[in-house]
Amino acid sequence: MKVRPTQQIERAGVSWIEHLVVGELGWLFRQQETADFGIDAQLEIVDAETSKATGRLLGVQIKSGLSYFEKPADGGWWFACGAHHVSYWIGHSLPVVVMLYHPTRKTVYWQHVNDQTVQSTGKNAKIRIPRSRNLASHSSQALRSVARSASEVPALEDWAFAPPVREPQRSAYFEHLLSAQLCAMVPGAVVDKHQHDHYPFDLTLWAQDARGCEIGVRVALQGSSSGVRRLATEYRSAMMPLVIFYTGTQDIGEVTRRPNDDVTPPIHVVAWREGGLGKALQDSIADAIEWSRKLWA
What domains are there in the chain, each with its CATH number?
Answer: 5-152 (3.40.1350), 156-296 (no CATH)
Look up residue 274 and give its amino acid. E
Residues in the chain, total? 297
- What is the model's pLDDT at position 163? 72
pLDDT(22) > 60: yes
pLDDT tens column, 32-80: 765 445 789 999 999 888 888 888 899 999 999 999 999 999 889 999 9
Taking each helix axis from N to C end, the angle separating 279-296 and 169-185, rounded to the nearest 10 degrees, works out to 70
pLDDT by residue (tens digit) across 164-211? Answer: 777 777 777 888 788 878 877 887 777 887 755 667 888 888 887 777
For the chain, the average pLDDT equals 83
pTM: 0.53
Q: Quick one: how far is CA 9 from the chain centroid?
A: 23
Q: What is the pLDDT of residue 162?
A: 63
53 DSSP assignment: E
The reported pLDDT for the residue numbered 155 is 44
Q: Which residue has the higher pLDDT, 291 or 173?
A: 291
Evaluate if residue 124 carries a pLDDT over 80: yes
Region 228-246 average pLDDT: 88
In angstroms, the CA 24 to CA 78 distance is: 26
Euclidean distance between CA atoms 53 and 60, whole angstroms: 18
pLDDT reported for residue 244: 94
CB atoms within 10 A of CB 36: 10
d(CA 254, CA 142): 46
- pLDDT of 159 > 80? The answer is no
Closest CA to 219 of 198, 254, 193: 193
Number of other CB atoms surrounding residue 290 within 10 Å: 14
Q: What is the pLDDT of residue 175?
A: 82
**Region 205-232 average pLDDT:** 86
Higher pLDDT, 205 or 257: 205
